[in-house]
Structure 1
Amino acid sequence: MSQRTCAACDCELDAEAIKVKLGGKTVEVCCEECAQALNEAEAAMTATANGKN
């Protein structure tokens, strides 16, 4: 069985993993803080791509 890790911090995931949708793909994170960090990073990238930076 392959080890699953958090998309934000590379910690090992357990049964409590949180699914987050980013750029049309679903990734898993270990905690709410990592989910928030990824959402903020995606928002910043989207704003930059749309010339709002």
Structure 2
Amino acid sequence: MNEKTCAACDYPLDDNAIKVTVGHREVEVCCEECAQKLREAQAKAGA
């Protein structure tokens, strides 16, 4: 069975996962802190 994990930290996801759009893909993260990390990384890559 494939268990979903956080796109930022590989923590197992539960029903409270947060969806974040990175580029043209939607990924799921475990918490707002991980969501912010992905947003910041995307901003740096786009600059």
TM-score range, shorter chain: over 0.9
Greater length-normalized contact order (CA 8 Å, ≥ 6 residues apart) = 2
Q: TM-score, normalised by structure 2?
A: 0.97
Unaligned segments of structure 1, at least 5 residues:
48-53
Partner in structure 1 of residue 11 of structure 2: 11
Provide Cα deviations, 1:1-53, integer angstroms capped at 9, x if missing partner. 42000000000000000000001100000000000000000000000xxxxxx
Unaligned segments of structure 2, at least 5 residues:
none
Alpha-carbon distance in structure 1 between the residues aligned to 2:39 and 2:24: 13
| RMSD across aligned positions (CA) | 0.6
Counterparts of 1:1-53 in structure 2, within 5 Å, are 1-47=1-47
Alpha-carbon distance in structure 1 between the residues aligned to 2:46 and 2:36: 15
